[in-house]
Amino acid sequence: MSLNKTILIMDNDHLALAILSAGLQKILDKFEILKPVDSGSSAIKLCTSHHPPSVLLADISMTDINGLTVCKEIRQENFTTTIIMMSSFPIDRFMRPAYYSGAQGLIHKNSLQEIARAIESVSSGRPLPCSFADNKNEHFLTASQAFHLLKENQASDLSPREAEVVDLWSQGIPMSAIADQLDISRTTVRTHLLHAADKLKAPNNRALIAAWLSYKQGDFPL
């Protein structure tokens, strides 16, 4: 049985997965690169299993589930795996949502060496630097600290049913049709929308849709 720390890479670009896997395996000889995944759902399943990876290197721009949402889903259940978010786009705009999603770092995808150094840092308990307007910390939180932060803020999250209702509502589907589709009453649909609006701090229907779209992208209203 290998005693090496393990790395799981998540990216929906198969070429990027191949380059990252091969390149990091050469640089990080003390780590075992696991079979990479090309979907957020697969990453969530593996990272919430009985044997999660030591490190998750996760792209933000995923096809099935936004990478920041993947990070948050994992962090709510897992306080040991360190998570590094990455993007091929400018990363400053993702700093705040990455922090509140439970990540230990955020990096650009343009340098294998920088990615490798980031992995070595966070896996040794040293989160990467993090700066945004209202952040009092100079670094991301550790996995354990982020886990506890998310637990404290969990009351502001939408329930699965609330999220389902708001998502259908944002597509222009009327309440009566949502009620029929989900086999619930129209009153219950309205109640879910009101609760979601309160949690997302949306004063009206248009604001709720805008807040929901932002929430789906990981820019959580915390």
What are the φ and ψ backbone dihedral angles of 199, each rounded to 5 degrees?
-70, -35
Axis crossing angle, helix 175-182 with helix 160-170, rounded to the nearest 10: 140
153: amino acid identity, one letter: N
User: Looking at the chain, how many residues does it have?
Assistant: 222
Q: Which domains does the chain have, with CATH numbers?
A: 5-152 (3.40.50.2300), 157-217 (1.10.10.10)
The tokens for 22 are 């091969």
pLDDT tens profile 155-165: 567 777 888 89
pLDDT tens profile 137-184: 789 999 999 999 888 776 567 777 888 899 899 999 999 999 999 999
The confidence score (pLDDT) of residue 222 equals: 42
88: amino acid identity, one letter: S
Mean pLDDT value across residues 180-208:
89
The confidence score (pLDDT) of residue 23 equals: 96
Distance CA 92, CA 108 (A): 10
Containing 101, the helix (H) or strand (E) segment is helix 95-101
Rounded to an integer, what is the distance from CA 141 to the centroid of its chain?
14
Cβ(135)–Cβ(96) below 8 Å:
yes
126: amino acid identity, one letter: R
Confidence class for position 95, pLDDT limits 50, 70, 90: very high
Q: Kindly report the CA angle at 129 between 99 and 25, in degrees rounded to 5? A: 90
Q: pLDDT: is 80 or 206 the higher one? A: 80
Cβ(10)–Cβ(68) below 8 Å:
no
